[in-house]
């Protein structure tokens, strides 16, 4: 490890990186090898050299983890008092806070996400646990139905059982905790299958949860490939639900593979979100939001505004400013605090994004790219890129690139831009910029997306629903919406008197 890379990193972060060792599974409260003893290499996005080896889980490891999760669910965890259960959740939050200075550097080191951005994501992760502990104690409430003087009916929420959680690499720690927190707080047990390209912080999370001393088997992590470990988790008959975040095609494959065991699915999938800028918008703020929305997280962001529709009256000005921004974005080592865009996660993904830039050229776009420092040749760097002269018929406008690449288009009329915004298979997020409040609401409501921001960048309150429409997902997580997925509602009907009962055969 080149120490000069870590000048901006805290002492705790330096120690965490210096002590990276091979990653084992975490099953039934123990850190163990895979049954097969197989491992895979974890590669640095910045140097493309091997960071460490990761235990490669398969069906037998998933079986072990599910068995442990079932035992915990039927045993100690399932029988805990609510307050005791939530105390564990608060303890996990406190431990994450204590270790932020280690987790954020590990995440940046592993994924290439700039450290200034991972710090914020990790802080959000602790909040996910605290938030769901509070939500369960205050909002996990049933309904009561009085039926004249004859009946009282009421609903209760019960944990579903074993939650299989499958997560991607683009904001690993945050997205894992986003699922684990509501799953555990509502009383389920968990088997997590993290993304194979970003194992470090999932392992750190297992260490933290181990330190929080949850009963054995409540939380398990099985590292491994999607096609083996992930697919076994999906097919397992004793896993009641799968919460998945990842690509749309993987989501559809998972639903097919889980169909035989009739699981519940929550699907957070891909996106190709529009940002619509009208000519009366606060142009500087819209530009800030547009630039941040596509180039933060290296463009590997599900809610990224990867399609810009700018009104033709301001298109020239806005595009010129966007090009200026792209040229000035600091591309560099993710471990440096001033870096704004780091290397992409993996060479395979880098090749995909590169291929899209070629396709853009072939489709007739003018491709304008910023700068990657010359010495950064070893990493998976793609310069922030603007695609001009794009239109909706192109693949680069229809397909998710998932890199620092924005397609720019113009429009004249409101109806026209709504039609263009909706003319993709995705419907995750959208952004509208205008000072006309009526138009803002009107357009917002007509865009097909699970989430829409007016005159705002992607700021989320944890109480609000998160999820997409069309091919961007099924169901909503976030706030009390997560309860619909992580709990089973039971209705209890109680007779208060002697109501009529037919007397067959009397
Ligand atoms: P991916 O679909 O390749 O992998 C996601 C996870 O699924 C990984 O853990 C992988 O191992 C696993 N997996 C792969 N094949 C599997 C199978 N057959 N059975 C079970 N598990 C399997 O996605 P990715 O490349 O890691 O992540 C990027 C994608 O995630 C992008 O499309 C992005 O838009 C999406 N994403 C969506 C959201 C959202 O909330 N909507 C958030 C973040 C990322």
> For 397, which DSSP code?
H
Q: How confident is the model at residue 3 (pLDDT cuts 50, 70, 90)?
A: confident
Is CATH 3.40.309.10 the right assignment for the domain spanning 274-454? yes
Mind listing the pLDDT tens digit for each residue in 427-474? Answer: 999 999 999 999 999 999 999 999 999 999 999 999 999 999 999 999
Per-residue tokens: 480: 């009390």
Across 71-76, average pLDDT: 98
Ligand 1 pocket residue status of 167, Cβ below 6 Å: yes
Residue 361 bears catalytic tag: no
From 201, 222, 246, 260, give the residue whose CB has the most ligand 1 atoms within 8 Å, as the site to mutate.
246
**Rounded Cα–Cα distance for residues 57 and 228 (Å):** 8
- Written in H, E and C, the secondary structure of 151-172 is EEEEEEEEECCEEEEECCCCCH
What distance in Å separates the CA atoms of residue 256 and residue 99, rounded to the nearest whole number? 39
> Atom 13 in ligand 1: which residue has the minimum CA distance?
226
Per-residue model confidence as pLDDT tens digits over 358-369? 999 999 999 999
State the catalytic residue, choosing from 102, 290, 302, 477.
Answer: 302
Ligand 1 atom showing the smallest separation from residue 302 Cα: 34
Angle at the Cα of 292 (from 267 to 115), degrees rounded to 5? 85
Asked whether this chain's domains 13-269+472-490 and 274-454 adopt the same fold, the reply is no
Atom of ligand 1 nearest to the CA of 400: 32
Domain boundaries, the chain: 13-269+472-490, 274-454
| Ligand 1 touching residue 230 (CB < 6 A) | yes
Query: Catalytic residue at 58?
Result: no
Check pocket membership of 196 for ligand 1, CB cut-off 6 A: yes
Testing ligand 1's pocket by substitution, the residue of 54, 112, 168 carrying the most ligand atoms inside 8 A of its CB is 168
The overall average pLDDT reported for the chain is 97
Neighbours of 176 (CB within 10 A): 25
Ligand 1 atom showing the smallest separation from residue 234 Cα: 20
Catalytic residue among 107, 176, 240, 268: 268
List pLDDT tens digits, range 254-268: 999 999 999 999 999
**What integer pLDDT is reported at residue 93 of this predicted model?**
97
The whole-number pLDDT of residue 1 equals 63
Q: How far is residue 364's CA from residue 387's CA, in Å, rounded to a whole number?
A: 10
H/E run at residue 103: helix 100-111
Considering only CA atoms, which residue is closest to atom 18 of ligand 1? 227
- Cβ–ligand 1 distance for 231 under 6 Å, the answer yes
CA of 167 to the centre of ligand 1 (A): 6
Could you tell me what percent of the chain has a pLDDT over 70? 100
Q: Whose CA is nearest to atom 14 of ligand 1?
A: 226
Cα distance between residue 193 and residue 200, in whole Å = 13
Q: Please indicate whether residue 467, judged by its CB atom, sits closer than 6 Å to ligand 1.
A: no
| Ligand 1 neighbour 249 (Cβ under 6 A) | no
CATH number of 13-269+472-490: 3.40.605.10
């Amino acid at each position: 490890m080149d120490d000069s890379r870590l000048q901006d990193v805290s002492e705790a972060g330096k120690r965490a990186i210096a002590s990276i060792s091979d990653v084992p599974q975490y099953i039934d409260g123990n850190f163990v090898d895979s049954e097969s003893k197989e491992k895979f290499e974890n590669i640095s996005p910045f140097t493309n050299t091997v960071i460490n080896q990761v235990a490669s889980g398969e069906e037998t490891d998933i079986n072990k983890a599910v068995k442990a999760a079932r035992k915990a669910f039927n045993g100690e965890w399932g029988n805990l008092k609510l307050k005791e259960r939530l105390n564990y959740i608060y303890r996990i939050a406190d431990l994450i806070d204590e270790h932020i200075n280690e987790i954020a550097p590990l995440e940046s080191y592993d994924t290439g996400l700039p450290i200034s951005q991972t710090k914020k994501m990790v802080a959000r992760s602790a909040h996910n646990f605290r938030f769901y502990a509070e939500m369960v104690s205050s909002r996990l409430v049933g309904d009561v139905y009085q039926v004249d003087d004859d009946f009282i009916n009421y609903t209760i929420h019960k944990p579903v059982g074993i939650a299989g959680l499958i997560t991607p690499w683009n904001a690993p720690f945050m997205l894992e905790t986003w699922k684990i927190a509501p799953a555990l707080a509502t009383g389920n047990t968990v088997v997590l299958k993290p993304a194979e390209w970003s194992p470090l912080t999932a392992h750190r999370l297992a260490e933290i949860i181990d330190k929080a001393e949850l009963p054995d088997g409540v939380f398990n992590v099985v590292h491994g490939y999607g096609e083996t470990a992930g697919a076994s988790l999906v097919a397992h008959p004793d896993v009641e639900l799968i919460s998945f975040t990842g690509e749309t095609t993987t989501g559809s494959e998972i639903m097919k593979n889980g169909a035989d065991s009739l699981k519940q699915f929550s699907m957070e999938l891909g996106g190709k979100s529009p940002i619509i800028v009208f000519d009366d918008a606060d142009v500087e703020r819209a530009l800030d939001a547009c630039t941040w929305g596509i180039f933060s997280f290296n463009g590997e962001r599900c809610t990224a505004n990867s399609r810009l529709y700018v009104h033709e009256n301001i298109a020239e000005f806005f595009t010129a400013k966007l090009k200026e921004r792209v040229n000035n974005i600091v591309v560099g080592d993710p471990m440096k605090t001033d870096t704004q865009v780091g290397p992409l996660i993996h060479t395979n993904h880098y090749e995909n994004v590169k291929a899209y830039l070629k396709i853009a050229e072939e489709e007739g776009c003018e491709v304008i790219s910023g700068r990657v420092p010359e010495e950064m040749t070893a990493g998976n760097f793609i310069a922030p890129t603007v695609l001009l002269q794009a239109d909706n018929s192109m693949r680069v406008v229809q397909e998710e690139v998932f890199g620092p690449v924005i397609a720019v288009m113009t429009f004249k009329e409101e109806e026209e831009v709504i039609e263009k915004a909706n003319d993709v298979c995705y419907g995750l997020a959208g952004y509208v910029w205008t000072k006309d409040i009526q138009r803002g609401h009107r357009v917002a409501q007509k865009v097909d997306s699970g989430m829409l921001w007016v005159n705002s960048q992607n700021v989320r309150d944890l109480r609000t629903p998160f999820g997409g429409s069309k091919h961007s997902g099924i169901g909503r997580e976030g706030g009390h919406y997560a309860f619909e997925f992580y709990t089973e509602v039971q209705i209890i009907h109680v007779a208060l008197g002697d109501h009529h009962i037919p007397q067959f055969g009397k």
